[in-house]
Amino acid sequence: MSSESPGTPRALALVADQGVLVGYPVSRTRTYPLVIGTGARLRSGTVLYDGTTIGRHLETGHGVVVREGCEIGDDVSVWSNSVIDYGCRIGDRVKIHCNCYIAQYTELEDDVFLAPGVTIANDLYPGDERSSQLMAGPRIGAGAQIGVNVTILPYVRIGAGALVGAGSVVTRDVPAGTVAVGNPAVARRAVAELPVIDERLVADSGSASRYRLADAEGNLP
């Protein structure tokens, strides 16, 4: 494996496909070289900018971009076609699935999971000069789970261990340990009150998907 390196990153035990750019130069501001820990696995199309610090065992899918000014912990995975914009802080063991956009100045604490298609915003009034000066993404607490195609608006705080249902639009804070769903997302119950998953499924041996909902309408009991 090999990588193309416009800058001079400090990296040890880096495994990178052809077409990976490690230490992409930042032209709009003076910054330091990329710092990346040992054991990284970078797949083709990954671009890591200078000015970011990354811990050990980063793993990327194809077409991943990580911009400058980010702090990223250990054992983080970022899957295909996801973008982490500049100035973000990401904890240990965070998993970002495919086709996610993490806006500037977003914080993801340890063990956060983002399902495919999560979009995070950071500009409350796009096009407004003052709004652009004050832009900031949300902070998502440790262990929170964010479902498929969720949109999270600026400044929001999602508490530790919360679960945000698929397709929700989060416009206000979500308390720790709660399930929030809808547009706008509203806290419905505690995560601890969710039914056991085995009670919601029946086997479907004739399908590649293997299981179907016990309740054909998908309602929670």
Cβ partners under 8 Å of residue 195, min gap 6: 220, 221
Could you read off the pLDDT of 31-79 as tens digits, one per residue? 789 999 999 999 999 999 999 999 999 999 999 999 999 999 999 999 9
| Domain of residue 176, residue span | 15-196
Average pLDDT over residues 21-29: 86
Structural domain contains residue 120: yes
* Cis bond upstream, residue 184 (ω within 30): yes
Residue 92 lies in a domain: yes
Q: Is residue 1 part of a domain?
A: no
- How far from the centroid of its chain's Cα atoms is residue 127's Cα? 25
In a domain, 28, yes or no: yes
- Does any domain span residue 19? yes
How large is the average pLDDT for residues 140-158? 98
Cα separation, 7 vs 63, whole angstroms: 19
Q: Which residue has the tokens 């608006």?
A: 153
Task: Classify residue 208: in a domain, yes or no.
Answer: no
By the 10 Å C-beta count (0-12 exposed, 13-18 middle, 19+ buried), 188 is classed as middle
CATH of the domain at 187: 2.160.10.10
Query: Quick check: 23 pLDDT over 50?
Result: yes
Residue 197 is classified by DSSP as G
Q: Is residue 88 part of a domain?
A: yes
Residue-level pLDDT at 219: 62
Classify residue 220: in a domain, yes or no.
no
Residue 133 makes CB contacts below 8 A (sequence gap 6+) with none
Count of structural domains within the chain: 1
Give the long-range contacts of residues 1-6, CB within 8 A, separation 24 or more: 3/42
Whole-model pTM over 0.85: yes
Q: Which of 139-143, 175-179, 212-216 has the lowest mean pLDDT?
A: 212-216
